[in-house]
Amino acid sequence: MFVKPTIDETTWEDLETALITADFGPDISERVVEELREKVDRFRTTDPKDLQRMLRETLEEHFAKFDTTLKLTERPAVVLVVGVNGVGKTTTIGKFTKFLRGYQRSVVVGAADTFRAAAVDQLATWAQRGGAAIVRPQQEGQDPASVAFQTIDYAKREGIEIAIIDTAGRLHTKGGLMDELGKIRRVIEKQAPISEVLLVLDATTGQNGVLQAESFLEHAGVTGLVITKLDGSAKGGFVLAVQERTGIPVKLLGQGEGIDDLTGFTPHVFVQSLVG
């Protein structure tokens, strides 16, 4: 589309198709195409290379509306991690730990997903790989809020800078489980302010992931999104679609399977990988 000699009507059709294929969703795709048509007219260009540059700039402007910085200045900084089962929450916590340790931050992880013993073991493995301490439930099925409480308590006692709380993978349709998230929040907030509530979304779920997010947004007070399984940027449009729909910034991207594959979100770099 950008290698053709001139911009014509098929260029616009191809562009809209490409945006929809990349999971920007029909609304944003249409809006971006309209903005670009206007720019192309205004600058009286027919060169597809100009269009490519304008596309990059336009997408960067859209991304730039959101503040992607993690707010972790409190001590301890409490981070609650939420999300539907199967999105890679546990591995994300391991990677996030490693990311923070890279900045010489001390980390403790609280295993408040108390209903599956396997979940606690898996989290312990990832936390250790990332270089964090872990607070486990004292018995299976322990109240998740009490594990969260013990984790913050541990962080305060040991002078640990960041406490990450893992929660059970709530199915977005289960009201009771959402109420429980509210309870975890209230228990934590009696001890320390919550710095971030990060919702983990799987890029491969596309627009359905946005629907999953909406009930979390209602109940969990989400402050930032973590997009996992963005191994190829094929579906990168999802990142913008979910920000625009929710008004919540993407703060971290998981781009592979390894423990070092979680990065902060830099719109400029991201758009470059999307558009070339």
Residues 173 and 224 in one domain: yes
Residues 109 and 29 in one domain: no
Between strands 250-254 and 262-264, the pairing is antiparallel
Residue with tokens 């945006």: 19
Q: How many CB atoms lie within 10 A of CB 79?
A: 24
Residues 136 and 266 in one domain: yes
Task: Kindly state the tokens that stand for 162.
Answer: 């960041």
Binned at pLDDT 50, 70 and 90, residue 196 comes out as: very high
Residue 70 is classified by DSSP as -
Residue 43 is classified by DSSP as T
Domain containing residue 45: CATH number: 1.20.120
Residue with tokens 């289960």: 174
Q: How many CB atoms lie within 10 A of CB 5?
A: 8
Residues 248 and 122 in one domain: yes
Is 2 within the bounds of a domain? no
Which among 197, 156, 228 is positioned nearest to 72, based on CA atoms? 197
Residue 40 contacts residue 50 (beta carbons within 8 Å): yes
Distance of alpha carbon 160 from the chain centroid? 24
Interval 18-44: pLDDT, tens:
898 888 888 889 999 999 999 999 999
Residues 84 and 43 in one domain: no
Specify the pTM.
Answer: 0.87
Residues 90 and 203 in one domain: yes
Per the structure, how many domains does the chain have? Answer: 2
Q: What's the domain range around 28? A: 9-63
Report the chain's C-alpha Rg in angstroms: 21
Interval 106-157: pLDDT, tens:
999 999 887 777 888 889 998 988 899 999 988 877 888 999 999 999 999 9
Q: How many CB atoms lie within 10 A of CB 2?
A: 17
Residue 170 contacts residue 112 (beta carbons within 8 Å): no
- Best mean pLDDT range from 58-72, 159-173, 215-229: 58-72
Residues 50 and 124 in one domain: no
217-221-226-227 Cα dihedral, nearest 10 degrees: 0
Q: How many CB atoms lie within 10 A of CB 46?
A: 12
Interval 47-90: pLDDT, tens:
999 999 999 999 988 888 888 889 998 999 999 998 887 778 88
131-137-139-143 Cα dihedral, nearest 10 degrees: -160
State how far the alpha carbon of 239 is from the alpha carbons of 154, 177, 229, in Å: 35, 26, 12
Q: What is the pLDDT of residue 57?
A: 92
Residues 25 and 147 in one domain: no
Torsion sign over Cα 272, 223, 161, 132: negative
Q: How many CB atoms lie within 10 A of CB 30?
A: 14
Domain containing residue 113: CATH number: 3.40.50.300
